[in-house]
Chain A
């Protein structure tokens, strides 16, 4: 008896700064320029989220997930990416998409049910994945391609805590581990998978430890400390680019808003829990850091908010000028070169739509 061993369960998330914004002793911090860049994107993400929610309530875009409270994770990761890296994410990583170079107009068009077209040339990002976890094996495939082509670039595969219960998650992570692919798996653990709390999602003490099971190093990081997220991601991405193989990051954060605009979290989540996390909002925490470090110009946040509103106002106007999507476009964007079967599907669908007067 006594042969069975427990996994260690005393793993604390890595932090570089405290809640009050002060750096922890003996830590290496990113440059002031990087810190300001991350802050700028966090502010942009906050305004973007408000604006998208507002557009949805006005009936100008469809259902959208809130990213409020997760700006530190999304921006810390986004700024650590280089142009040659690939991003495979979901609707909760919209801010990372923006940081990586996808224009706001493209995302707004997407949520208007339109076709944003391919992302601009040079922006290496898969389409925003809505199917939970489906991006994970796709990211592993991208990693295999980079390895075969011997490109010094990395893939980041993002998902949430809920997606770690999907088969796709395990298949993707395992494949990358087994083949030593240049993929960084980045899980934003925001506490809730719609209405399922993290404690009900898995019996593992951490999600990060799942990386070990697939033979890769892992980090557990405070997802509301954008500097810690940045540093961890930078190390993981550099390792991947240099041929060191995959790694796994769990960023512990909190979804302050609803799952989507169709969700009412007051039905399943205690107000007291949300209030406690409002007090740990990453945005004021980052601002406190910049102020304490003496690199925060007066009125910076207000100025960034105003800039974000202007950029988004123009993006909304441009997106609303785009022609409405047509049924044919569904086929246009499926195949690079249409197969005979797809060709028949297209013709039949369009004939049927004509018949019922929808076209």
Chain B
């Protein structure tokens, strides 16, 4: 019979074999421990379900075994062969240990006490928590102990770390190339992002257009308006984003195919009355995309206020579901953390997304002369099932025209 690794945690995927507690050819009784494994959560002995003889051990100490893989074969009801046979039956196993009671080789239970949060901090700081002198109750290692260790050993730490990295593994036949320091399950928002991104990436044949435009005039206009706002005594402040959203909305009204939703199951293009645009917000938990409603109907100041409101609600995780739904287009700002070029992922069921780089001064040729201008690099990623390059090219041309000539943009603002 094959003895397989079961899910002995709650949803565990794999375990590491720490020690074999039986040899090939050895007789075992029901519930006798066969081997010891280490999972994410526990170290556990796995007992035999049957009386019989160990026919074959299929894994070696140090192996990472997935749930459902066979660990060993047991001949149920069999009897241990005579010593000579046992030697013959016992295949040379690199993991086989010399004589000695298995208990002697068991993992020492001398683990230091520490909370999971402290252990995680130790891993993040590259500190071996076993080596830290704990000052908490019963010698528990606290975060304070880690801080002392880090400050006190800041200079010595790199040397220690590299020595530890160079040290070969003490057990196991072949040293593993990499040792797992931690396996962290994706949770909550991260899990949702992972699923959405993977689905979009898998389902959407994405093409992209990269472009730039000269936003010097818009930049100056914005600065003048901000001075006006300051003089009025409001605490309002205009960033580039309301202008860019407005320009995108105007361009979508002129090229409506870019601002649609695609129902891939029914192979239908869904046009929506409301022109709602998602804005990607970087939060401590991950990316959240609240949706600004009716971008075409809002004035620039109202738009700016709405962007501030939604962004802060996203960061405090207080958005309601309706505030993240119903978009027909999205804007993401990889320039916010300094990026110039970026290639965003289209958010299903939308069909296009605008990625914005940081505005910077660049030398450009203007009417035959070199000039220093403020340049915005942008990218438009799109779903090639629904849109072609030419559609997006025309959209990009309009967008660029509006951004380079703010008077044309303002003419369209309602």
Chain A residues at the B interface, C-beta cutoff of 8 Å: 50-51, 54, 56-60, 63, 195, 258, 261-264, 266-273
Residues in B neighbouring A63, C-beta threshold 8 A: 10
Residues in A neighbouring B139, C-beta threshold 8 A: 270
Q: Is the CB of B49 within 8 A of A60?
A: yes
- Our count of residue pairs bridging A and B at CB distance below 8 angstroms stands at 60
Residues in B neighbouring A272, C-beta threshold 8 A: 138
Q: Is the CB of B115 within 8 A of A268?
A: yes
Expressed in whole angstroms, the Cα–Cα distance for A303 and B13 within the complex equals 41
Q: Is the CB of B116 within 8 A of A267?
A: yes
Q: Is B9 an interface residue (CB 8 A)?
A: yes
Q: Is the CB of B46 within 8 A of A263?
A: no
Closest to B5 in A: A59
Expressed in whole angstroms, the Cα–Cα distance for A59 and B119 within the complex equals 29
Quick one: given A60-B49, A264-B41, are A50 and B10 in contact (CB under 8 Å)? no
Residues in B neighbouring A263, C-beta threshold 8 A: 41-42
Beyond A57-B45, A57-B46, 4 extra complex contacts between A and B, CB < 8 Å: A58-B47, A59-B8, A63-B10, A262-B10
Interface SS of chain B:
loop
Residues in A neighbouring B49, C-beta threshold 8 A: 58, 60
Expressed in whole angstroms, the Cα–Cα distance for A264 and B36 within the complex equals 14
Quick one: given A57-B47, A270-B113, are A261 and B31 in contact (CB under 8 Å)? no
Ordered by A's residue number, 17 sampled pairs between the chains whose C-beta atoms are within 8 Å are: A54-B31, A57-B8, A58-B46, A58-B49, A59-B5, A59-B6, A59-B7, A59-B8, A60-B6, A60-B49, A261-B42, A262-B10, A264-B43, A267-B111, A267-B113, A267-B116, A270-B138
**Chain B positions 1-19 with a Cβ under 8 Å from a chain A Cβ:** 3-10
Residues in B neighbouring A273, C-beta threshold 8 A: 138
Q: Is B44 an interface residue (CB 8 A)?
A: yes
Quick one: given A57-B6, A268-B115, A271-B109, are A50 and B31 in contact (CB under 8 Å)? yes
Q: Is the CB of A266 within 8 A of B111?
A: yes
Residues in B neighbouring A262, C-beta threshold 8 A: 8-10, 41-42
Q: Is B114 an interface residue (CB 8 A)?
A: yes
Expressed in whole angstroms, the Cα–Cα distance for A327 and B44 within the complex equals 31
With both chains docked as a complex, state the minimum distance between the C-beta of A299 and any C-beta of chain B, in angstroms.
21
Expressed in whole angstroms, the Cα–Cα distance for A195 and B116 within the complex equals 10
Expressed in whole angstroms, the Cα–Cα distance for A58 and B8 within the complex equals 8
Q: Is the CB of A56 within 8 A of B8?
A: yes
Closest to B37 in A: A57
Expressed in whole angstroms, the Cα–Cα distance for A98 and B49 within the complex equals 24
Closest to A62 in B: B10
Q: Is the CB of A269 within 8 A of B113?
A: yes
Residues in B neighbouring A266, C-beta threshold 8 A: 43, 109, 111
Expressed in whole angstroms, the Cα–Cα distance for A51 and B30 within the complex equals 10
Which of A262, A268, A270, A273 is packed against the most chain B CB atoms within 10 Å? A262
**Chain B positions 104-129 with a Cβ under 8 Å from a chain A Cβ:** 109-111, 113-116, 119
| B21-53 near A? 1/0 per residue, CB < 8 Å | 000000000010000000001111111110000
Quick one: given A272-B138, A273-B138, are A57 and B44 in contact (CB under 8 Å)? yes
Expressed in whole angstroms, the Cα–Cα distance for A117 and B114 within the complex equals 43
Expressed in whole angstroms, the Cα–Cα distance for A266 and B8 within the complex equals 18
**Chain B positions 248-294 with a Cβ under 8 Å from a chain A Cβ:** none
Residues in A neighbouring B113, C-beta threshold 8 A: 267-270
Residues in B neighbouring A258, C-beta threshold 8 A: 42
Residues in A neighbouring B31, C-beta threshold 8 A: 50-51, 54
Residues in B neighbouring A56, C-beta threshold 8 A: 8
Closest to A59 in B: B6
With both chains docked as a complex, state the minimum distance between the C-beta of B294 and any C-beta of chain A, in angstroms.
35
Residues in A neighbouring B6, C-beta threshold 8 A: 57-60
Closest to A261 in B: B8
Residues in A neighbouring B5, C-beta threshold 8 A: 59
Residues in A neighbouring B109, C-beta threshold 8 A: 266, 271
With both chains docked as a complex, state the minimum distance between the C-beta of A18 and any C-beta of chain B, in angstroms.
27
Expressed in whole angstroms, the Cα–Cα distance for A356 and B244 within the complex equals 43
Residues in A neighbouring B119, C-beta threshold 8 A: 267
Expressed in whole angstroms, the Cα–Cα distance for A271 and B112 within the complex equals 10
With both chains docked as a complex, state the minimum distance between the C-beta of A103 and any C-beta of chain B, in angstroms.
21
Expressed in whole angstroms, the Cα–Cα distance for A267 and B118 within the complex equals 11
With both chains docked as a complex, state the minimum distance between the C-beta of B240 and any C-beta of chain A, in angstroms.
46
Closest to A60 in B: B49
Expressed in whole angstroms, the Cα–Cα distance for A263 and B138 within the complex equals 20
Closest CB pairs A-B (n = 4): A59-B6, A270-B138, A264-B42, A54-B47
Residues in B neighbouring A270, C-beta threshold 8 A: 113, 138-139
Residues in A neighbouring B111, C-beta threshold 8 A: 266-267
With both chains docked as a complex, state the minimum distance between the C-beta of A206 and any C-beta of chain B, in angstroms.
21
Closest to A270 in B: B138
Residues in B neighbouring A264, C-beta threshold 8 A: 41-43
Q: Is the CB of B8 within 8 A of A267?
A: no
Expressed in whole angstroms, the Cα–Cα distance for A268 and B137 within the complex equals 10
With both chains docked as a complex, state the minimum distance between the C-beta of B212 and any C-beta of chain A, in angstroms.
47
